Structure 1
Amino acid sequence: MKIMIVEDEPTIRELIRETLKKWGFETIVAEQFDQVLQLFVAENPHLVIMDINLPFFDGFYWCNQIRELSKVPILFLSSRSTPMDMVMSMNTGGDDFVQKPFHSDVLVAKINALLRRTYSYSEIQANVIEHDGVVLNLKDGNVFHKDRKAELTKTEFVILNILMRHKGTIVSRHKMMRGLWEDESFVDDNTLTVNMTRLRKKLGDLGKEDFISTRKGQGYTIL
């Protein structure tokens, strides 16, 4: 899903963008703060993150402008946290408020809650798979753990995707190779072993050395 970020502080803007990318969201960042509404109309995002203190016009103004056109959820994010600021954010059409400084996990939880309340399940099916702190981005094939990222090859991505979708169960080597063949990654038994070794090393570099377990004579599993 697409999220529009209207934030004047470059460091915070980049933090939000990277956090949302990690969770599989597409982001649009406002850079011309006198044309926020034009960007909104052009990009048609599913949610807007709006700072209050902005050049030209404040976030309350742009929230009012967006509300003239759309009921898209708007999440205010600001260091201004007086009761009047919170009241104003709601009165101008905001749906939630997060105070700076903020924890990225709280921000993502608020975003997901707003999306669940606004859209049907089929519209917000995740672009990521997450288990035990490991996040697999289904769009670009990258895998994340905390603040670290590893880029996977196509074969490594398919292997991890199969295992994470079947977490808690043992996936045989035969089933793994069949899944790879269906994805047009033609591998033999030795190639599977090589790719599994490389995938485990990348996960180990992220701090998840034992994420994939081998069950001798049976296959692989993620618990």
Structure 2
Amino acid sequence: MFNILLIEDDFSLYTEIKERLNQWSYEIYGIKDFSKVMEDFSEIKPDLVIIDIQLPKFDGFHWCRMIRSHSNVPIIFLSSRDHPTDMVMSMQLGADDFIQKPFHFDVLIAKIQAILRRVYNYSSKQIHIKTWCGATIDYERNLVKNNDGTIELTKNEMFILKLLIDHKNKVVTRDKLINSLWDDKRFISDNTLTVNVNRLRKRLEEIKLGRFIETKVGQGYMALEEDIL
């Protein structure tokens, strides 16, 4: 059974989501005090977090930043706002997905199942360490380390990097990445993938590896090896 922390101040929506997800054997926890979200987070130790953007005290972006400073737990944003910058901001802060309100519960459940299956099945694999472009990739701890430093990636960022490295020097199509990450591309904006890859490249640039993730316009992305440049 997976524990899910639902940071939602609309009590009727919280209750409906909780009842629906309980039917799928997920354990749902709410927030006692919206000024102390991190206390509940630390106590519950959730396997996944769902955050509304508009919250009392501080908005969802604030709590996403706080969670990301302590954990790489998967995060899904909910929002009734329709401005595209909300989705971009959430992805840049390290969220794994974004759902626009109102939404169909089948979509929410499909996204939750895809993320949990990807993150926790992926983490259970036996091969955890790989080298790429002079860097050590620790898949289990989501770390990339070289002589220029160490960065910690989110689960989504590491999953994208692993998929690209597994097919190094070959183009991985956008469709393959979307289907591997989210299972059903009908529920995904094409811009979601772009934001995720750009965020990964920006993180890699901190240790001078950003240039080894190449965009193939109209096709997809490719992880290069240093010796072919």
Q: What TM bracket, shorter-length normalisation? A: 0.5 to 0.7
- For the 8 Å contact 2:35–2:58, the answer to whether it is kept is yes
Could you tell me how far apart the structure 1 residues matched to 2:35 and 2:123 are? 35
Paired amino acid for 2:85: M
Paired amino acid for 2:26: F
Could you tell me how far apart the structure 1 residues matched to 2:75 and 2:116 are? 10
Residues 77-111 of structure 1 show CA distances to partners (whole Å, capped at 9, x for unaligned) of 11012111011111111110011111111100000
Could you tell me how far apart the structure 2 residues matched to 1:62 and 1:74 are? 11
Residues 51-91 of structure 1 show CA distances to partners (whole Å, capped at 9, x for unaligned) of 00000100000000000111000000110121110111111
- Structure 2 portions without partners, runs of 5+: 125-229
Partner residue in 1 for 2:115: 114
Partner residue in 1 for 2:56: 55
Partner residue in 2 for 1:212: none
**3-state DSSP class of the match of 1:4?**
strand
Q: Which consecutive segments of 4 or more residues in structure 1 shift more than 4 A?
A: none
Larger-Rg structure: 1
Could you tell me how far apart the structure 1 residues matched to 2:9 and 2:94 are? 20
Structure 1 residue 6 displacement after superposition: 0.3
Partner residue in 1 for 2:5: 4
Is 1:14 equivalent to 2:15 in the alignment?
yes
- For the 8 Å contact 2:32–2:40, the answer to whether it is kept is no
Partner residue in 1 for 2:65: 64
TM-score, structure 2 length as denominator? 0.52
* Greater mean deviation of Cα atoms: 79-88 or 45-54: 79-88
Is 1:97 equivalent to 2:63 in the alignment?
no
**3-state DSSP class of the match of 2:15?**
helix
Give the % identical residues. 53
TM-score, structure 1 length as denominator? 0.53
- Structure 1 portions without partners, runs of 5+: 124-223
Residues 162-193 of structure 1 show CA distances to partners (whole Å, capped at 9, x for unaligned) of xxxxxxxxxxxxxxxxxxxxxxxxxxxxxxxx
> How many residues get paired?
123
Is 1:37 equivalent to 2:38 in the alignment?
yes
